[in-house]
Amino acid sequence: MYDAPTLESSVTTDNLKFTARNVHVYYNEAEAIKGVDVDILDKTVTAFIGPSGCGKSTFLRCLNRMNDTIPICRVTGDIRLDGQDIYDRSIDPVQLRAKVGMVFQKPNPFPKSIYDNVAYGPRIHGLANTRADLDVIVEKSLRRAALWDEAKDRLDSPGTGLSGGQQQRLCIARAVATAPEVLLMDEPCSALDPIATAQVEELIDELRQEYSVVIVTHSMQQAARVSQKTAFFHLGHLVEFGETAHIFTNPSDERTESYITGRIG
Amino acid sequence: MPDQHIASAFDRDLETIQAKIMKMGGLVERAISDAARSLETRDEELAEEVRGRDKAIDKLEELINEEAARVIALRAPTARDLRLVLSVIKISANLERIGDYAKNMAKRTSILAQMAPVNGSPAALRRMAREVEEMLKDALDAYIQRDINLAHEVMQRDQDVDQMYNAIFREFLTFMMEDPRNITACMHLHFIAKNTERMGDHVTSIAEQVIYLISGEMPEEPRPKGDQTSLDASITPSS
């Protein structure tokens, strides 16, 4: 029986991508994250779950310095990507965000053609020298986002003319076009119907072959379906972090159990 | 941790299933005790009644499985809720098997009532059945009160049942060697003894499920095994 294949949901690597230590985040005086330590593995989907206001999105946004854009927000502690402190002065946040892509809750394609939506990142980061190179990147990214077959005949039509699910996959194609190492997703399916949700989840599972994916979700079933590791946040603390299967069958902390079983916590 | 779900209908569903387990447990306890009593008092009418009541037990198992499947499909239970649903499926299967053994005991009672009694043996069988019935009662109490210590204790007590079975096994062997006219009756009585010993094993499984439900892990200690008859050389006729 020890030779039997493991379930797909198992963690298969121990290569670290992000390491965060003693991270605190303040909005003015209010402390939103109260000392979080977490290790994010490469080629693994990590889900952040927790009730509204628990700090999971705030913490996600620390990982590509999106919080820099909020003037009242202050981040302390140590966050490293491949051992490099991402809050170091020498780090250019724009370059960081090319390596650590992000997909948001609401699909937000640029008011441009499908092609230009995907080509935008590679153009500003100078990833393609010729139009042919760019064509290759656009096709590859759209394929990776499982949108190529639906979009290949209408690359010049506006991205905003796609359906909601297609728009979200376009945003994923746009995020992967800059060849990121990590993909952050902040409730990527909450505005999508179940079919589009299933397609995005299937995509997430494929993306983990190459990327480290961190997803914030309000749907515990989604966290259970797509992730290998789950972190439960509550009131700014990281309460429990472990293998998803363990969190959903036999969590160690009572607060985690209260939350995932739908009890008042 | 709060006991109640935000969705109170979820609580009601889980309570409904557990109430059915307790009802099933009650019927099975009664089946064991009545079957053993009918054997001892050679009460064919009671034996017939035990056989008839087994249908209700089977029906409950079916209902519990249907409701468990419903909860899994509609409520996607996790953690201890998931363990609860998994455990009721297994416990109901164990109870159903115990009920079958009790029914079989009643069936053999009807046959044995037509034969000459074998001295002393029905009383020994009844003591064994009584012990199994007590174990079952405690296993179900451990289940409903989430009492892990009681569940461990029940598991240990299965050894006593096994030892009772060993003793009865030897006794029947002696009776059969003494007088071959006893063989038919003793064969039936031996099956009753073996089935009662098997009931004890099913009760042990229920206790294991209780431990899994409470702790999230199956008990690590090896199951006590007291049934030595399969290793016993004394059963060969030459000895």
Interface test with A, best of B78, B211, B215 (most A CBs within 10 A): B78
Specify the pLDDT at position B232. Answer: 61
pTM of the complete model: 0.80
**A213 burial level (CB within 10 Å; 0-12, 13-18, 19+):** buried
Specify the pLDDT at position A8. Answer: 65
The distance of A256 to chain B (nearest Cα, Å) reads 10
Specify the pLDDT at position A1. Answer: 46
Find the residue in B nearest to A264 (Cα). Answer: B6
- pLDDT, tens digit, for every residue of A92-151? 999 999 899 999 988 999 999 999 999 999 999 888 889 999 999 999 999 988 899 999
CA gap A147, A161 in Å, rounded: 14
Interface of A with B in 86-105 (CB under 8 A): none
Among residues B37, B219, B44, B206, the alpha carbon closest in space to that of B125 is found at B37
Confidence tier at A159 by pLDDT (50, 70, 90): very high
Beta strand extents in A52-210 (DSSP E only): 73-81, 84-85, 100-103, 182-186
Question: Alpha helix (H) ranges present in chain B?
Answer: 8-41, 44-75, 79-112, 121-145, 148-178, 183-215
A-chain residues within 8 Å CB-CB of B1?
A: 254-255, 257-258, 263, 265
Confidence tier at A9 by pLDDT (50, 70, 90): low
Q: Within chain B, which residues score under 70 in pLDDT?
A: 1, 221-227, 231-239
**Is A239 within 8 Å of chain B by CB?**
no
Find the residue in B nearest to A224 (Cα). Answer: B78
- pLDDT, tens digit, for every residue of B132-180? 999 999 999 999 999 999 999 999 999 999 999 999 999 999 999 999 9
Are the C-beta atoms of residues B224 and B155 closer than 8 Å to each other? Answer: yes
Phi-psi region of A219 (alpha: psi -120 to 50; beta: other; left: phi over 0): beta
CA gap B32, A74 in Å, rounded: 70
Are the C-beta atoms of residues A244 and A227 closer than 8 Å to each other? Answer: yes
**Is B4 within 8 Å of chain A by CB?**
yes
Specify the pLDDT at position B238. Answer: 36
The distance of A18 to chain B (nearest Cα, Å) reads 28
Share of chain B above pLDDT 90, in %: 74
Token code pair at residue B150: 């009681």
Interface test with B, best of A240, A247, A255, A263 (most B CBs within 10 A): A263
Specify the pLDDT at position A199. Answer: 87
Q: Is B2–A224 a contact, with Cβ atoms under 8 angstroms apart?
A: no
Q: Is the pLDDT of residue A53 over 80?
A: yes
CA gap A37, A35 in Å, rounded: 7
Specify the pLDDT at position B237. Answer: 43
The distance of B8 to chain A (nearest Cα, Å) reads 9
B-chain residues within 8 Å CB-CB of A51?
A: none
